[in-house]
Structure 1
Amino acid sequence: MNCYDCRARGETSVAVAVCSRCGAGLCMDHAHVAPQTVHETAGVGRSTHSPDARRLTCGVCHEAEV
């Protein structure tokens, strides 16, 4: 699979990740990595896991979330 953002610019580079929101293939230059807190229902409350999970998004989805 190739990076979607690179291909849109007429370049070709190998995708190393997939956007967790839209599913586009991403190279290292276009992948945005951010922590994501993982929650789990535990009885009548909520439990938070540590460490945070890793979340990868493309530039478009990253900007839409900010």
Structure 2
Amino acid sequence: SEGHPVIVSNSDTSLIRSLYRNFTHHYIKAKRSIGVSAGESKSATEIIAVSGARCWVGFAPSRGVDSSAVYEVRV
């Protein structure tokens, strides 16, 4: 990823958790409609895996006129 953030989503399985073990994991419930009768609902856990950028340079215009440049290094 050359220092760029990466976000992936997939079904929550041990293989996916292993593949993205160095990422930050977030979990959500996703509705499924395949293989479900009309009017029924089914859900499954999805994993959202996020790798952070190695560094971020930016500013926050929402803070008003006194915005300062920010340099942050994430490890």
With normalisation by structure 1, the TM-score equals 0.31
Greater fraction of residues in helix: 1
Higher relative contact order (CA 8 A, sep 6+): 2
- Highest Rg: 1 or 2? 2
With normalisation by structure 2, the TM-score equals 0.29
